[in-house]
A and B are shown apart, each in its own frame.
Chain A
Amino acid sequence: REKRLTLPPSEITLL
């Protein structure tokens, strides 16, 4: 069974 151990990476936004 797969378990997520870390939060997902974020997208990057250019401002």
Chain B
Amino acid sequence: PGLLEPTSTLVRVPKSASTLGIAIEGGANTRQPLPRIVTIQRGGSAHNCGQLKVGQIILEVNGVSLRGREHRDAARLIAEAFKSKERDYVDFLVTDFN
């Protein structure tokens, strides 16, 4: 990638625990327009996966963009992706750049 291109990473989180175990802040019409990971709880699926990091911005969940979604809408989308029995994982497209 070029030096000025923002980099994004696709992280597949297997549903290895009963909770996803992340806390997010942000969403449309707030200071943080895309959801940012603020906590990763030990023992949750995200922690077990080991690839999500505090501070990363979530761009997409299972290929669905979070751009323009308000906080509660983004949180609901992530919660439903984790709860859904369609897949035994959740795909996150994340970036380290804010």
Task: Tell me if A12 and B79 are in contact (CB < 8 A).
Answer: no
A contact patch SS: loop
- Cβ–Cβ contact A12 & B27, under 8 A: no
Encode contact with B along A1-15: 1 for CB under 8 Å, 0 otherwise. Answer: 000001111111111
Query: What A residues does B26 contact at CB under 8 A?
Result: 10
In the assembled complex, how far is the CB of residue A12 from the closest CB belonging to chain B, in whole angstroms?
Answer: 5
Q: Is the CB of B31 within 8 A of A12?
A: no
Query: Which residues of chain A come closer than 8 Å to B71, judged between CB atoms?
Result: 10-11, 13
What is the minimal beta-carbon distance from B45 to any residue of chain A, in angstroms?
10
CB–CB A13/B24 < 8 A: yes
Q: Which residues of B contact A11 (CB under 8 A)?
A: 25, 71
B38, CB-defined interface residue at 8 Å: yes
Q: Mark B4-33, 1 if CB is under 8 A from A, else 0.
A: 000000000000000111111111011111
Instruction: Say yes or no: A8 contacts B24, CB within 8 Å.
Output: no
Listed in ascending order, the chain B residues whose CB lies under 8 Å from chain A are 19-27, 29-33, 38-39, 41, 71-72, 75, 78-79, 82
